[in-house]
Amino acid sequence: MLKKMLKLFYKLREKKRKKHQRVLPFGDYFSDRWEKAKYLGFGEGSSVYDNVVIIGDVKVGKNTWIGPNVILDGSGGLQIGSNCSISAGVQIYSHDSVNWAISGGIKDYEYGSTKIGNNCYIGPNSIITKGVNIGDGSIVGAGSFVNKSWPADSRIAGAPAKSID
């Protein structure tokens, strides 16, 4: 069975490379990004890569692309709007364990609902912390650390993120 699986994998990998000039992680040859999004109850036309980690209550609107190696933490509630691009390596959190860790496990984890509006672009390897709201039509530059909320049409980047208008 292993030989058959590998043979199929090699065939699918070669087909993808010829057609799209890309090579993917093993699981992405056997899963469908749109089916996974539909299974999770995400909006019509949304897609999510096989290797994305999804925890808790995560809601996603229509036509949103969630790239590879993303973490979506909905343990405190996470909403992502429609027509968004969540780039590779993005981490979006709705909880943290800071006080738990520094108290030696005495204090509880902290939770805060996080929301990304409609028509937003979140650049690769950005981190968005718990309780942050990013307004509609906003852009977050690559590698940003977003630890406070931003209104609609914001253009932010940096660590911590600042307005770049």
- Percentage of the chain modeled with pLDDT above 90: 94
* Residue whose structure tokens are 């909905």: 74
Average pLDDT on 44-73 reads 97
Residue 38: pLDDT above 80? yes
Lowest mean pLDDT among 14-23, 70-79, 87-96, 123-132: 14-23
Separation CA 163–CA 111 (nearest Å) = 26
- So what CATH class is 32-163? mainly beta
Residue 27: pLDDT above 90? no
Three-class secondary structure of residue 98 per DSSP: helix
Separation CA 80–CA 70 (nearest Å) = 13
Enumerate the β-bridge partners of residue 51. Answer: none
Separation CA 13–CA 33 (nearest Å) = 16
Average pLDDT on 130-138 reads 98
Residue 165: pLDDT above 80? no
Report domain extents, the chain. Answer: 1-30, 32-163
Residue 44: pLDDT above 80? yes
* DSSP letter for each residue of 7-47: HHHHHHHHHHHHHHS----GGGGT--HHHHHHHTTPPTT-E
Write out the two tokens for 41: 């109850």
- Residues 84-103: pLDDT tens digits? 999 999 999 999 999 999 99
Instruction: Read off the pTM.
Output: 0.92
Residue 24: pLDDT above 90? no
Long-range contacts of 60-64 (CB under 8 A, 24+ apart): 60/84, 61/118
When the pLDDT of each residue in the chain is averaged and rounded to a whole number, the result is 96
Q: 113: which DSSP letter?
A: -
Residue 25 pLDDT level (bands cut at 50, 70, 90): confident
